[in-house]
């Protein structure tokens, strides 16, 4: 039975927490090796990323700029338009990461995942350098939209995320709390970009389909129970 469960997960028929199988869901974590991901701009997963008790874990080490040597942002092998994403994350003390989506993987035009994709901030809510910065706190749509309330847990504790993007409507939930609800790609969205750090990045926030990314910010982070379904 355990072998059948693992095969179903790899086939993308959906599994979460070792419980029920839900048709339509694609599992993106679990097992002994990273399945369904690669490092941005490469064909394989960087050596700094590994599995830790079923979690995708970034092992921080020697820095390569702001990232980890042998790391780089992970991106899904597949691209997604309208989707529902569920996962859990845990962050190290003072650490920073992010869940980036609608990433266009074209390194000739875009050096970083965040040159095109918007980010749900993942960080230590208490002691990261961005912890108490407006629009940079855990759960915020980074540098664009602040969360309605702080619902992140302390470093070392697991947080649950549900992210839904459907026909231009984006909803973000953190630990069961609805923290962001916004319309994408309208006039207001363009104004948000124009007043952000991304205003001089052609293509940022414009793509309606792209890869999901887990950010390497050079610090320890874990992601588990990752699953996604197309809407």
| Separation of alpha carbons 165 and 219, rounded Å | 28
Query: What's the pLDDT band for 23 if we cut at 50, 70, 90?
Result: confident
pLDDT above 90: percentage of residues in the chain: 87
At 81-94, the pLDDT tens digits run 999 999 999 999 99
In sequence order, what are the beta bridge partners of 55?
52
Exposure class string for 92-122: b at 16+ Cβ within 10 A, else e? beebbbbbbbbbbbeeeebebbbbbbbbbbb
Residue for token pair 């992210």? 163
At 133-178, the pLDDT tens digits run 999 999 999 999 999 999 999 999 999 999 999 999 999 999 999 9
Helix intervals (H) in the chain: 2-10, 187-194
- The alpha carbons of the chain give a radius of gyration, in whole angstroms, of 17
In sequence order, what are the beta bridge partners of 89?
159, 223
Euclidean distance between the first and the last CA atom of the chain, given in angstroms as a whole number: 29
Architecture of domain 37-230: Sandwich (2.60)
The encoded tokens of residue 153 equal 């847990």
Query: What's the pLDDT band for 21 if we cut at 50, 70, 90?
Result: low
Question: pTM of the prediction?
Answer: 0.91
Query: What's the pLDDT band for 119 if we cut at 50, 70, 90?
Result: very high
| Separation of alpha carbons 208 and 52, rounded Å | 33
Cβ neighbours for 11, distance < 8 A, ≥ 6 positions apart? none
Domain boundaries along the sequence of the chain: 37-230
Least confident segment among 10-24, 79-93, 177-191, 213-227: 10-24
């Amino acid at each position: 039975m355990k072998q059948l469960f693992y095969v179903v997960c790899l086939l993308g028929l959906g599994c979460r927490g070792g419980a029920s199988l839900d048709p339509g869901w694609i599992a993106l974590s679990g097992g002994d090796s990273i399945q369904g991901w690669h490092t941005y701009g490469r064909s394989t997963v960087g050596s700094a990323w590994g599995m830790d008790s079923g979690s995708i874990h970034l092992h921080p080490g020697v820095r390569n700029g702001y990232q980890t040597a042998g790391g780089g942002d992970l991106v899904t092998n597949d691209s997604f338009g309208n989707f529902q994403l569920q996962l859990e994350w845990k962050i190290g003390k003072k650490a920073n990461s992010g869940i980036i989506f609608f990433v266009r993987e074209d390194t000739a035009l875009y050096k970083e995942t965040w040159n095109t994709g918007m980010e749900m901030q993942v960080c230590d809510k208490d002691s990261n350098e961005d912890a108490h910065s407006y629009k940079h706190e855990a759960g915020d749509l980074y540098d664009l939209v602040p969360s309605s309330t702080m619902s992140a847990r302390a470093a070392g504790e697991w947080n649950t995320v549900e992210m839904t993007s459907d026909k231009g409507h984006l909803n973000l939930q953190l630990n069961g709390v609805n923290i962001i609800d916004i319309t994408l790609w309208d006039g207001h969205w363009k104004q948000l970009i124009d007043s952000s750090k991304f205003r001089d990045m052609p293509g940022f926030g414009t793509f309606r389909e792209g890869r999901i990314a887990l950010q390497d910010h050079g610090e320890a982070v874990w992601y588990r129970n990752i699953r996604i379904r197309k809407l």
